Chains A and B, each alone.
Chain A
Amino acid sequence: MRTQAMLSRQLSQRTAFGLLILATIIVVVPILFLILYIVINGAGTISWEFLTLPPSQAGKAGGIFPAIVGTFYLMVGTLLFSLPIGVLAGIYLTEYARDNWLTRLINMAILNLAGVPSIVYGLFGLGVFVLAFGFGLSLLAASLTLACQALAMTITTSREAILAVPREYKEGSLAIGATKWQTVRHIVLPQALPGIITGAILAMSRAAGETAPILVVGAAFLLPGLPQSPLDQFMALPYHLYTVAAHIPGISRSTMWGVALVLLVVVLSFNILATVIRLRARQRRV
């Protein structure tokens, strides 16, 4: 009797664990499958010409060079605007802010910034940077829009990185007479640098893959040349993929897979780089 009850309990445990493992497999396998699928289907398209030539025949032939350059510009622009703000805000929240309503409000705002839908950032960019500031549909407006979106990421990662700096370091610096800013500048920031870089790389990776906002604030499908100034329109990889896949008839499938692969490689390599830097920094500290 007793052993039978025990057996059935063990059986139900085994069934349950089987289901949990199944759930994990359902999560993991499609991820690996779709990455592999893109790599296999896209690899044949990738050639030196595909990466370095501008598109021709309305995107049906030629390469995607301007889209790669545009995405690179966007990544740099986003970083330029969001990183300094993120680092300074991170310093404020960790070193200067008191535990009061204002700080709680700032933290709440950061949390919610991360949850605002990307298309809403697009509307914001359109209303503020494109129209109100008069930047027009441009690289500048798009970079600023993506920077606003990246803000939550750069602030949080900087804050975490600064928080992880041992207190003794700061106390030592203050004890020998350094001012607070000197301490932050010469002790805290260098120590927090790997964490801050991780956040910066993640923000760039996000900017490279983001489509909905740039769809609204200035990405173009075909342009005669590369953007000459920040006020020019631009091509970008994610927008290019969207257009060739969903809008232009008669584009060969291999071209689409090729664009998808290039975009995926850019975004994921930056992601992996960020992870590696984070792990390195953690190992060094321990």
Chain B
Amino acid sequence: MKQAALATTAEASLEKVLRRRWRWGEKFIESGIFLNGLLAIVVLLGVLVLLLREGLPIFLYTSPWEFFLGTKWYPVSEPPTFGIMPFFVATLMVTMVATAIAVPIGVGCAAYLAEVAPARIRETVKPIIELLAGIPSVVMGFIGLMLLSPLVQSMFNLDTGLCGLTAAIMLSMMSLPIIVSVSEDALRAVPDEFKEAAYALGATQWETIRHVCIPAALSGIAAAVMLGVGRAIGETMTVLMVAGGALAVPYSPTEPMMPMTAAIASGIGNAVRGGLQYQALFAIGLILFIVTLSVNLIADRVLERQKRKFAR
């Protein structure tokens, strides 16, 4: 009797120990999971901190005024000057031309896929566009180098086909997948009732798309364009290979130029660690980071709002 009672208490205490150990194991695993959950924040903050730490010291040497508005990038002359205006204008120009090309085509394609195309065509076209998203940027740069630049050169009668325009055309192609897929999602999210109401009033399918669907999805389409712009600003290899790499401030898209990403990629190999050029290149990286971050944040906010608008 007594022995049995003793056994049960022993068993109970054993169970308690086991359970506690189990709970400890579980706690250990949970905290590991939690830490990994935080890593995305850690990396993003890490990038920011590193860019600030390595990039900001350049402003001890050159004033922000000279840095942003200076037109001369002579990192190895004596004394060196670091004006990033040429890179900034190049990025602006290439991005604007690329967006101007990609948006009408991308939104048109999205409207066709979302509203007009039969399911079979949509199911064939979408994987092809996904394929494009998977092609590495260096391959796109290579194609620009081998196929497009001779074409652009002879078409516009230029000294060299390696210029902003060639880069912009390649970039427009590369930003198409995101523009098409996000716009298509936005158009699909428009409630059927909207379209049915338009049809009931006697509108044709095109009138419905033009006056109901596109206006209703406009903010989503705007977000798609922003994401496309962000893609174009951050793209490196293609512009490095085909934009021409000239250091002067470009005045027309048909001139050779060096966008900000290309400036970092081509300069960082020769920059002395911790030296002025190194710092200046990190500062350019910081600007790129801030610009793409803001573009993404705004696009996300717009998409979120659009989602809420139709959610019921």
Contacts and interface: CB of A to CB of B under 8 A. Distances in A.
A110 to B, nearest CB: 5
Contacts of B285: 119-120, 123
B205 interface: yes
Interface string A105-122: 110111111111111111
Given A115-B295, A117-B235, A151-B39, A28 B129 contact: yes
A20 B142 contact: no
A123 B268 contact: yes
Contacts of B112: 17, 20-21, 23-24
B44 A113 contact: yes
Given A123-B51, A179-B26, A271 B44 contact: no
Contact of B37 (A34, A96, A111): A96
Contacts of B237: 211-212, 238, 242
Contacts of A253: 146
Contacts of B127: 275
Interface string A52-73: 0000000000000000000000
Interface stretch (A8-16, A165-173, A189-197): A8-16
Contacts of B269: 215-216
B46 interface: yes
Contacts of A105: 41
B130 A238 contact: no
18 contacts: A21-B112, A22-B108, A26-B109, A27-B106, A28-B129, A34-B147, A88-B36, A109-B43, A115-B292, A117-B233, A123-B50, A127-B282, A151-B39, A152-B40, A209-B139, A212-B137, A246-B240, A257-B146
Contacts of B111: 20
Contact of A20 (B30, B116, B207, B227): B116
Interface in B149-174: 173
Contacts of B117: 24
Contacts of B296: 111-112, 114-115
Contacts of B227: 115
Given A241-B142, A256-B146, A119 B108 contact: no
Interface residues of A, number: 85
A112 B292 CA distance: 8
Given A105-B41, A111-B300, A115-B234, A216 B136 contact: no
A245 B131 contact: no
A120 B47 contact: yes
Residue with the greatest number of chain A CB neighbours at <10 A, chosen from B44, B109, B207, B230: B44
A241 B281 CA distance: 24
A74 interface: no
Interface of A: 9-10, 12-13, 16-17, 19-24, 26-28, 30-32, 34-35, 37-38, 84-85, 88-89, 91-93, 96-97, 105-106, 108-124, 126-128, 131, 148, 151-152, 155, 179-181, 205, 208-212, 215-216, 238-239, 241-242, 245-246, 253, 256-257, 260, 263-264, 267-268, 271, 275
B47 A124 contact: yes
B29 A181 contact: yes
A181 B206 contact: no
A242 B50 contact: no
Contacts of A92: 33-34, 36-37
A69 B247 CA distance: 36
Interface string B270-305: 000100000001100100110011011100100000
CB-CB nearest 4 A-B residue pairs: A209-B136, A117-B234, A23-B108, A92-B37
A115 B139 CA distance: 20
Interface string B216-250: 00000000000100100111110011000000000
